[in-house]
A and B are shown apart, each in its own frame.
Chain A
């Protein structure tokens, strides 16, 4: 008898189990060791405590870096979304010379290695005298995360039904009113999803930021990177655990707003 189409055999399920273990193991192990009561990295089965989570609160440079990353993410995601929205309308609604080039240019940060951007921004900042400027760092993050915001906003614009817009216009609504009352609410899930994805990308960025971060503008991933390069202690694990949990919460939110599959895969 032929094997059934569209069913996984036990071998496939075994493979799947190993694959899922491979994917989640590093995250689970980080979460586990952060509950140890020892001074070194070890599993918490012979003594668990919250002491390494309490220790985060007594590490001011980590707390500062955390808030800096939050503000940086909020600022750059907002700038990126605000600029990506009109850009996306231009690309989705107009046929003009240079449209493809414009799209490729605005998407290009996805193709440029972050290490190259780090080098470029370091040089630029030192020439412009912007080293240590939070605003400058925020603008560079806005450039890096704009493609994510643009992609989701574009998808929302292309996927939407234009009948409501036509109806509003034919009933005498002005262009601004139509935009504000009809278009914007319709594409809001895409814009919001793009904003959240942009925030996460900014919050996680390390390779570029490490070049331009100064003691006053050290983001959380950069602070963790520098800590891990020197010592791997349970404190970096507990900080990482907080980050993992935070990301999980954001993922649930993202799923509610736009649907995670759409954010992660790009289309349904």
Chain B
């Protein structure tokens, strides 16, 4: 390719060096220091000691208290992911079938909240889900429940609020997959005599699957490391990895242990994202290639 800006091979590195330097200094170094910190000995009386140990990791990996936190976080993220698939996928299909002005309008209504602070959105849910809140009032008026449902300081409320926070990512992923899909294929299926449901099941859905799965990876990873929503809606009763890390750092002041939790969260996150993406690409090579 003829290059207008410069032909020298060092040029791209010169151009990217400012960003690269910032990232090495303000991202790589702090992450390295945190990894190092996670091996530091911690003494309740004297704080962080200059000697190193595997004790922090051993404690997290053997203590059932931390197992519970990791399992709870995994289940919460799975629940949020499942709800995002159940709610987001049909809605994206409906959006795709809408006509010009409505489609753009509702796409903005559904994706726009991504730009609004998660603290604000969580506040909305904590008002809605209170025992005197609108959701409980409605459920009782409709006679669905007699007693107010306990949403706040419970996993149920956290999962509902997180689903609201992350469902736009699912819509984006499925929407992108839909854009690649040729509508003629559905027509072909129908004109060859398939019913609407068969053509959806056999023709449309298999092509959407990569989008659904990549959306699920994003939602799962984000939900597993979410902090503000589990902290505000769940409080101390629903402790997850992110809130446990926060407590170790700012309440117990056991930084090495908190750093070890953070390192494990980062490793789990990268393994899940990279692993699932690899699997996806292998499984759906033909879809991604097209």
Contact = CB atoms under 8 A, between A and B. Distances in A.
B124 to A, nearest CB: 3
A108 B265 CA distance: 15
B90 A25 contact: no
Given A206-B228, A244-B116, A116 B266 contact: yes
Interface in B104-146: 104, 106-128, 130, 134
B138 to A, nearest CB: 11
Contact of B266 (A113, A200, A251): A113
Main secondary structure of the interface of B (DSSP, over half): helix
Contacts of B109: 20, 23-24
Most buried by B among A93, A113, A247: A113
Contacts of A25: 124, 128
A19 B4 contact: no
A155 to B, nearest CB: 14
B66 interface: no
Interface majority SS on A: helix, strand, loop or mixed?
Answer: helix
Nearest to A150: B19
Contact of B115 (A33, A206, A247): A247
Tell which of A13, A41, A94, A236 has the most Cβ of chain B within 10 Å: A94
Interface string B17-29: 0111011001101
B4 A204 contact: no
Interface in B1-34: 1, 3-6, 9, 11-13, 15-16, 18-20, 22-23, 26-27, 29-31, 33-34
**Centre residue among A26, A93, A169 by max chain B CB count within 10 A:** A26
Contacts of A162: 4
A238 B231 CA distance: 21
B116 A247 contact: yes
Contacts, number: 283
A166 interface: yes
Interface residues of A, number: 97
Interface of B: 1, 3-6, 9, 11-13, 15-16, 18-20, 22-23, 26-27, 29-31, 33-34, 37, 87, 90-91, 94-95, 97-98, 104, 106-128, 130, 134, 161, 164, 167-168, 172, 175-176, 183, 186-187, 190, 195-196, 221, 224-228, 231-232, 241-242, 245-246, 249-250, 255, 258-259, 262-263, 265-266, 269-270, 273
Given A29-B124, A112-B266, 18 more contacts: A6-B183, A12-B97, A13-B94, A15-B91, A20-B110, A23-B113, A23-B167, A27-B120, A30-B120, A83-B22, A93-B3, A94-B15, A204-B117, A207-B226, A207-B227, A229-B231, A232-B127, A265-B111
